[in-house]
């Protein structure tokens, strides 16, 4: 029980990453695989944020007086995740556009019917 309380955020983020990976491996519809990619992306973001957490810490913004720098969470992972979210959006959009082109060409999104994507 204590293990779960201590590592709740890690468990959640790795759970999301593994669920996304499983979806990508077993699903046959391209749109569903892209959804799995998006879930993995979210899991990685949560993992990065929770790595820099400090128990009981505040946000790294000096918006009022008497905020101690030693009680603030790590700003570097937050800055990285900030950009990673936008890049994630761009990657999902690119993947969806490729799915649109594949659908135009083959008339299906099932990867078993698309030559060269079978495994």
Partner 1 sequence: MRKAVSFILVVIIAIGIGFSLQEVPFGKTKSEVRKYYLEKGIEQTGATNIVTSVVVSYRGFDTLGEVTVLFIAAIGLSAVLYRKEERLKKEVRKSSLILYTGCRFLFPLIILFGAYIFIHGHLTPGGGFQGGAVIASAFLLTMLGCWRWGGINRNRFKITESLSGLIFVVVGLLGLLYGGYFLLNYLPKGMPNELFSAGIIPIIYIAIGFKVGSEITGIIDNMTRSG
Q: What is the distance between the alpha carbons of residues 35 and 92, in angstroms, rounded to a whole number?
A: 9
Would you say 63 or 66 has its CB closer to partner 1? 63
CB 46 within 8 A of CB 16: yes
**Backbone phi and psi for residue 78, each to the nearest 5 degrees, phi listed first:** -65, -40
Q: What is the distance between the alpha carbons of residues 86 and 117, in angstroms, rounded to a whole number?
A: 28
List residues bridging with 72 in a β-sheet: 58
* Residue 117 interacts with partner 1 (CB under 8 A): yes or no: no
Place of tokens 């008497």: 66
* Residue 35 interacts with partner 1 (CB under 8 A): yes or no: no
* Residue 31 interacts with partner 1 (CB under 8 A): yes or no: no
* Residue 52 interacts with partner 1 (CB under 8 A): yes or no: yes
* Residue 103 interacts with partner 1 (CB under 8 A): yes or no: no
Q: How many residues does the chain have?
A: 119
Least Å distance, CB 115 to partner 1, is 18
Tell me which residues in 8-27 interact with partner 1 (CB under 8 A).
Answer: 8-10, 14, 18, 21-22, 25-26
List the one residue out of 25, 22, 44 whose CA is nearest residue 91.
44
Q: Which residues bind partner 1 (CB under 8 A)?
A: 6-10, 14, 18, 21-22, 25-26, 50-55, 59-63, 69-70, 72-76, 78-79, 82-83, 85-87, 89-91, 93-94, 96-98, 100-101, 119
């Amino acid at each position: 029980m204590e293990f779960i309380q201590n590592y709740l955020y890690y468990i959640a983020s790795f759970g999301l990453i593994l669920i996304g990976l499983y979806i990508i491996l077993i699903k046959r519809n391209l749109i569903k695989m892209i959804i799995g990619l998006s879930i993995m992306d979210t899991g990685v973001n949560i993992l990065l944020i929770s790595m820099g957490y400090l128990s009981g810490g505040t946000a790294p913004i000096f918006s009022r007086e008497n905020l101690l720098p030693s009680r603030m969470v790590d700003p570097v992972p937050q800055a990285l995740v900030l950009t990673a979210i936008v890049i994630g959006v761009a990657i999902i959009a690119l993947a969806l556009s490729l799915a649109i082109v594949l659908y135009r060409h083959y008339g299906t999104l099932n990867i078993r019917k698309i030559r060269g994507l079978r495994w």
